Structure formats: structure tokens, C-alpha cells
Amino acid sequence: MTQRLSSPWRIGVDVGGTFTDLVLVDAAGQVLPFKSPSNPADPEAGVLAAVDLAATRLGLERRALLQGCTLFVHGSTIATNTLLERKGARVGMVTTAGFRDSLELRRGIRHDPWNHRAPYPEVLVPRSRRHAVVERLDATGAVLTPLDEASVHAAAAALAAQQVEAVAICLLHAFRNPVHEQRVAAILRAALPGVALSLSSEVAPVIGEFERGSTTVVNAFVAPRVVPYLQALERRLAEDGLPHGLLLVQSNGGAIAVAEVAARPVQLVLSGPAAGVGAIRFFGRDSGSANLIAIEVGGTSCDVTLSHQGIIGMTDQLEVDGHHLAIPAVEIHTVGAGGGTIARRDAAGMLQAGPQGAGARPGPACYGLGGEYPTVTDCQLILGRLRPGPYAGGAISLDLGRAVAAVETHLAVPLGISVEAAAAGVLRLVEQTIQHAVEKVSIERGYNPRDFTLIACGGAGPLHGPATARAMGCRAVYVPRLAGVFCAFGMCNTDVRQDHVRGWLSPLDNPADPDLARMRTAFAELRAEAEAGLDRQGFAAADRRFVTALDLRYAGQQWPITVVVEEIAAAPLRAAFEAAYQQLYGFLQEGGRIEVVSLRLAVIGGLPELALEVAADDAAATPVPIETRPVWLDPVHGVRPTPVFDGATLRPGQRIPGPAVVDEATTTLLVGVGETLRVTGADNYLIEFAEAADVRA
């Protein structure tokens, strides 16, 4: 069916574990979501299939759809999956003599001190492919031992014999002076044509030899797999009519051109989930709260992000499958809890849910695609929260009989309980996992969840949102109509962003104040570098923003705190650091000596922000349910006859008392007893509690 579009339009494509989501936003503000099954074996084909699906439903050819697009933003898990599945390049490494084993020695500490037997993940570069060269810089970057080029040529010959596809170069203290790394790269480039090189001074110029080395190795590992895919996709889209280059979502939540990220594809490890930043920024204006916690529950995982007073938490200490990455990233806590999470009985006879997932294929048992094991989606279907039949425009169809058979065979009969009790137990376990994830980004960071509104998004999020919000004491639950394509929509409301960092170690309080003067000079140099990047991408001066930050710590401590500042002066820097430290740890070192660890400059190229359309209030009209069916609500109220509403018929201002179910195009909402759903002015949903949030046991 042909749909009238106002050109030009934007397109966001998010490749997830189960579905590839595409959102089109036209010039009139019309938002059109589409969901297509993902193709993990061929992600390019999966993206094009989503484009073709949208074009077909809009009555257009692929070329016409792409030609009318002025902004095409892509988020993908390809970098993450390459790392998780260990399907990256054959990598070699060049290090300073005497530091060949630092990658394997790590930090010498364990996250769980009580579990001393758990092995670390196997390193991506075995010792035989790690080669030492003779050179040495001190902590200031001064040359102690000149680079012995003969040792570099020897390393190059060995790497050639080992047929490496990529090389990570990580020399001691290169973050302060890259001269030796650059010379090593020049020699290797001549000796190993076609081999991708990653320099730690370019990929992660930060203090911390292990983190810097680990990040550089991961970059080398994923680059030969990720970059060709992105370049091929960009070429294909251009050939098919896309007039502008492809933009990619980075881990920092901003977009970047393929050419700009090609040297550092490690920045894409959180590409899909980080796109939620744009959606949080947009929906925050409609939610009525400046403090938001977003839970994005998809097919295989739940991503939790906190926004306090409009500021999204950031970190540069990521860990993916045990590999440390020192890259600027949105602080997202991810747990294995999604619609495709598999439930099972463990060896002790206890009910377990996750972290394993059914993926896109075979998927949940109710999909009828070969899945045998019960998942969260099967349990939602059994408990009446989901209806049998087609979903996502017919992309899948839910079979109640298959869901019952899976839960009965693998859970109910072995545990000696009813199918309904087993399904309810699975949901309670998954919601407990989501609750712990919310605690991780809020309570453990010094924030009280009672001051926040919970955004429930992702295809499965609105079914779990109210229970999680009640358990955490949140003020309300906000559900976008586009909850099922939350990140894809966020891509349409993103800005271009690049983060520049420079390692720096000096005391903050220096009577002579020479370091502050040098800092200002260093920030000026970073800004010049950032301006050049924006020049290449064609941003006008009025569309540029810069955020200055420093990593600070008390002398003798290992982990710094990043603080955003307006002025490079001792007093405001100390005040900002102490405020952040007090919130995080609950105490201060009165008069403690503070050190500067790193300088940071975030440069943002602003793209036109999507307008928030507010519709006329239609509270006088009474919503009419399309059916009533038995639904399991919670452990207290059990199964009750529950009215079901078609979300497409609901209008701003209308209210629905719980219990109720609302079917939307990309998700399903559950409104519990004592809760009221209100349609907001921007045509989204707000679930409000009649009393203070309680924990339902």
C-alpha cells in the first residue's frame, strides 16, 4: 500500500540479535517503524532486506526510498559479535622489550576475589605472535633508549612468516610520545603490505599499559572484518541511490562517518545500544521528568542507561567478554534478559532463566522455526500477556501450542508444577535480573531511583517495566509508542560526535601553576584537531559544540573520575571533583592531593533535532477494548479477566485504569492493578501509580 511521505526523510537501521529494526522519519514528523528478521550470517543482506521491506510497504522501489533520504544512520553488533564469536583477524603484536607478557598478566586482580579458579578469557594474540622491540620512553615521553630498527625488521620478518592479517603496536608510554610507534608502523607498513596496523597512541592514548594494549589488540582483531563490511555497505547504498554517506553509531552515542571510524572500529562495540541516547533525549521532553532510567529489553538482552538532569552517564572502562576497552562510551549495563532468554532446570533442580538466548533462529519455541526450549516470550504467551497469531507485520506468528509444549516438557513436568506456575516463575526471575541491572546504574552510582521515571522500551520492555519500576520505587513508567524500535528511532535523532583524549599525569594543586597553563595549550591543540575533523564533514561553526572534561583522582588511587568543567583553574576543578566523589563514594579526603590523569574533549556536530509534536487533548473519548482475556498480572493478583486495547485507537489525554493490556505495532504494554495508563500530549504512554511503589513478592 502506497503511503504519502514528505521528503526528505531520515532512516535509522538497528541490527539486533533477533530483528533488524528500521525507522523512517519524514519531513512532516511522520514516524514509520519496520521490523525484519536479522541475518547474522550476512549483515549487509539483512540491512538491505529491511530497506526493501520498508520500500515495499511504502509502495516504492529501493532506489526511490534511498534517494529521498538525507540521513542514513546504522547501528550494528558486527564489531561486538566478531569479538564474542572470536571470528576476527589473525593478529600479531609489537611491544617494548621486557613487556611482552603485559597483555596476559592483565592487572593481576580479579573482579570476584572469592572465585580464584575462574580462568581469564584466552588472549587474542598468543605469546608466539607477540614480538618485542628495543626502545624505551620514560613517563614524560622522553627517549631513554632509542628505537633499534633492526629489532623492528626482525619482528616484521617473524610476523610475515606467521601470516598475520593485522598488527597491534603498543609501546611503553607511547600515549605521551608516539614517535617510536609511528616509526615502527612505517617499517611494518613497508614490510607487510596489506596488513592492517593499529597504534595504541591513535586508538587509545591513555594511561594504563594493559588497558591501552587490550584496546589496541581488539581494534586490530575486529578491523579487517568490520571495516570491509561497512565500506561495502556504504558503496552498495550509494549505488542504489543514497545521496549522502553512511553514518554509524559509536559507543559514545554519537554518529560518525565510515571514513572517520575506519582506523578505530573498536569504537563501534556498543553501536546499537548506544543509539538509545538520541531516543532518551527526544522522549525526555514528553516524559515530564529530567531524570530517566531506560531499560531496553530486546530479544537476547536488556540494556540499562541512566540520564540525570539530561546528562547521560559516560565511561571509558568497558569490558566485553573479559576484554578491557579504554574507549569513551555511554554507560550501559547489559544483562542476559530478553524475550528470547531461555529458561531451564539446572543440575540442582532449580529454575533458571538466561543468560543464554534463542537468537533470531531458531528463536522461541512459539515462533515455529525449530526452537525447542522455553523462552520468556513463550511464557508471556502462556500467561495471556501476548496473544497468539501474527506480529511485526506478519514477520513472525506466535503458536500457543508450541509454547505450552516447550514449558511443559522442559520446566513444568521436571519441576512438578503447572505450566502456568513455571511460566510465572520464569518472568519473576527475569524481572529480578532487570531490577539488579537498574540498581547497578542508579543506587551503586549514588542515585535514588525514587527520583526517576523508568522508560520501558524494546519489544519486551513494556511488559516488564511496571514490575521493575515498582520494585525500585520509581515515580512512573514511560512507554514510547516506538518502544520496539527505540534504538533505531534514536539514530534518527543523533548528532555526530568524536572524543579526543590525551594522557596526562600531574598534580592539580601546583603553586607555580605551569601545568594548568600547559593544559590550556593541550586543550587548544585538541580543539584544533577536532575542528579539522568537523571541517572534513562539512559542519558550520554554528553547529559545533565542545565539551571539556578531565579525569581526576586522589593521589595514590587507581581509578579516576571524569568531571566536565567550563574553566581550567584549580578551584573549580577541585570543587567539581569533590562533588562527584562525594556522590559516588559518600565521603571526601579533606585537603587531599588531587592528580590529573587525562584530558578529554568531546566535539559534537549538531544535526537538526526532531520536533516533538504535541496533539490536541482528546480525554473526552472513552477507550473501548477490543477483547477481554485472562492475563496473569503478578504474584499477588494472579490471573484476572483483563481488557485488551488496540494502541492505534488511543488518543492523547485518554486514561485507562489497570489492569489492562495495550497492543502496539512493535510492543505490548501491561498495566497492573492500582496503575493508570495516560496517553501523553506527544501520543506516547505514561503509567502512573496510585500509591507509593511497592515491592511485589
For residue range 399-454, what is the model confidence (pLDDT) as tens digits?
Answer: 999 999 999 999 999 999 999 999 999 999 999 999 999 999 999 888 999 999 99
Q: Which CATH architecture has domain 9-83+227-271?
A: 2-Layer Sandwich (3.30)
**Exposed / middle / buried, residue 528 (Cβ in 10 Å: 0-12, 13-18, 19+):** exposed
Write out the H or E segment, with its range, that includes residue 311: strand 311-312
Domains in the chain: boundaries: 9-83+227-271, 87-223, 290-474, 496-605, 627-689
CATH 3.30.1490 fits 496-605, yes or no: yes
CB 635 within 8 A of CB 696: yes
For residue range 356-392, what is the model confidence (pLDDT) as tens digits?
Answer: 888 767 889 999 888 899 999 999 999 999 999 887 6
CATH code matching the domain that covers 290-474, chosen among 3.30.420, 1.10.10, 1.10.3470, 3.40.50? 3.30.420
User: Do the two domains 290-474 and 496-605 of this chain adopt the same fold?
Assistant: no
Give the C-alpha separation, 260 to 237, whole Å. 18
pLDDT, residue 510, reads 66
- pLDDT band, residue 67 (cuts 50/70/90): very high
Residue 692 pLDDT > 50, yes or no? no
Neighbouring residues of 430: CB distance < 8 A, sequence distance ≥ 6: 337, 341, 353, 354, 376, 464
Look at residues 513, 597, 593, 601 and name the one whose alpha carbon lies nearest to residue 552.
Answer: 597
Average predicted confidence (pLDDT) for the chain: 89
Cross-strand partners of 532: none
For residue range 187-207, what is the model confidence (pLDDT) as tens digits?
Answer: 999 999 999 999 999 999 988
Q: Which of 9-18, 155-164, 354-363 has the lowest mean pLDDT?
A: 354-363
Q: Residue type at 558?
A: Q
Neighbouring residues of 384: CB distance < 8 A, sequence distance ≥ 6: 629, 630, 631, 632, 639, 642
Average pLDDT over residues 50-70: 93
Question: Three-state DSSP class for 454?
Answer: strand
- pLDDT band, residue 298 (cuts 50/70/90): confident
SS (H, E, C) 29-46: CCEEEEEEECCCCCHHHH
Helices (H), 473-569: 486-491, 514-536
For residue range 569-601, what is the model confidence (pLDDT) as tens digits?
Answer: 888 899 999 999 998 888 888 888 999 999 999
Write out the H or E segment, with its range, that includes residue 218: helix 209-239
The pTM (predicted TM-score) of the whole model is 0.84
Neighbouring residues of 67: CB distance < 8 A, sequence distance ≥ 6: 241, 242, 243
Give the C-alpha separation, 292 to 184, whole Å. 47
Give the C-alpha separation, 647 to 527, whole Å. 48
pLDDT, residue 693, reads 45
Contacts 24+ apart (CB under 8 A), 233-238: 233/44, 233/47, 233/74, 234/258, 236/44, 236/48, 237/66, 237/72
Cross-strand partners of 499: 602
For residue range 15-56, what is the model confidence (pLDDT) as tens digits?
Answer: 876 678 899 998 888 889 998 887 777 888 889 999 999 999
Q: Phi, psi at residue 662, to the nearest 5°? A: -120, 120
pLDDT, residue 609, reads 81
